[in-house]
């Protein structure tokens, strides 16, 4: 895979003068189109950094590809407005075409004719030591630079063998996760040996992304929904919270109270 990034990374925050006087550091919104085989597939609103990794991670976690070997080239224009991804094969389109699928993550949209997405598959099974969860929680507690400056972004970490490999920030939790996954893919890291930590909520779409990434566990500081718990259980994904409690016990208590 060849990555040609003419845009590179730009600051994710700017200090601006407020109408009422004084200054404040605010996050920057950057809009870009992701093209796959010359067809617009996604429109993303993100922080202006790691655009190739965002595109790569998005294609995997949304089921367009199953591995980095399917990607021949990723090219980002000088203005960062277009991220062109060329695959080693044509995409198989689904029966319905022309949809726009919105995301609750900023103004992100899937805009291409829907492709035939790769089916979900069970994730690798691996024991997750308590120390790994503590490492992730401590790192999140330290806060990353962009969050410290703006208090307006999400974070996602990739951990392997107790060591944090990547720490990514973005306006949206989906983008942050995709950037972290894309970093691992670009460097040939085996995601089946990794754990993801997200600062955001864990509804079904986030669990689906983690399953498609092929990680054995997703850690968060927030509770899941009933549906996201059921999906995780169906495919063997471990959902953990930072206080070292399993989501399974928490969900069982909720069901008992509501029953």
Q: What is the CATH number of the domain that holds 45?
A: 3.10.20.10
d(CA 208, CA 235) in angstroms, rounded, equals 10
**Cα 21 from Cα 64, distance rounded (Å):** 48
Total domain count, the chain? 2
Looking at residue 222, its pLDDT comes to 87
Question: How do strand 71-76 and strand 82-87 relate by DSSP bridges?
Answer: antiparallel
What per-residue confidence (pLDDT) applies to 37?
96
Query: Is residue 118 a part of any domain in this protein?
Result: no
Q: Which domain holds residue 146?
A: 130-241
152: Cβ–Cβ under 8 A, 6 or more apart, which residues?
A: 26, 27, 171
pLDDT of residue 36: 96
Threshold 0.85, pTM exceeds = yes
Span 186-204, average pLDDT: 95
Instruction: Specify the 3-state DSSP secondary structure of 247.
Output: helix
Q: Return phi, psi of residue 232, to 5°.
A: -60, -45
Domain-embedded: residue 15: yes
Q: Please give the residue that has the higher pLDDT: either 259 or 169.
A: 169
For residue 201, what are its two tokens? 């909520």
Q: Give the per-residue pLDDT at 142.
A: 84
């Amino acid at each position: 895979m060849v990555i040609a990034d003419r845009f590179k990374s730009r600051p994710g925050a700017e200090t601006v003068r407020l109408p009422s006087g004084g200054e404040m550091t605010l996050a920057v919104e950057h809009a870009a189109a992701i093209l796959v085989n010359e067809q617009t597939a996604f429109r993303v609103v993100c922080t202006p950094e790691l655009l190739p990794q965002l595109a790569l991670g998005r294609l995997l976690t949304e089921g367009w590809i199953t591995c980095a070997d399917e990607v021949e080239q990723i090219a980002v224009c000088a203005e960062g407005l277009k991220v062109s991804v060329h695959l080693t094969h044509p995409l198989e389109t689904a029966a319905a075409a022309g949809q726009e699928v919105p995301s609750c993550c900023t103004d992100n949209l899937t805009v291409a004719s829907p492709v035939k997405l790769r089916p979900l598959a069970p994730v690798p099974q691996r024991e997750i030591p308590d120390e790994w969860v503590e490492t992730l929680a401590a790192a999140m507690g330290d806060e990353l630079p962009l969050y410290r400056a703006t208090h307006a972004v999400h974070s996602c970490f990739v951990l392997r063998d107790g060591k944090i490999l990547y720490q990514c920030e973005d306006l949206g939790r989906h983008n942050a996760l995709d950037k972290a996954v894309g970093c691992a893919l670009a460097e040939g890291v085996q995601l089946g040996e990794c754990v993801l930590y997200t600062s955001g909520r864990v509804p079904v779409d986030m669990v689906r992304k983690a399953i498609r990434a092929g990680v054995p566990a997703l850690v968060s500081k927030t509770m899941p929904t009933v549906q996201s718990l059921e999906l995780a259980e169906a495919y063997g994904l471990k959902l953990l919270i930072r206080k070292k409690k399993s989501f399974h016990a928490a969900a069982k208590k909720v069901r008992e109270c509501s029953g």
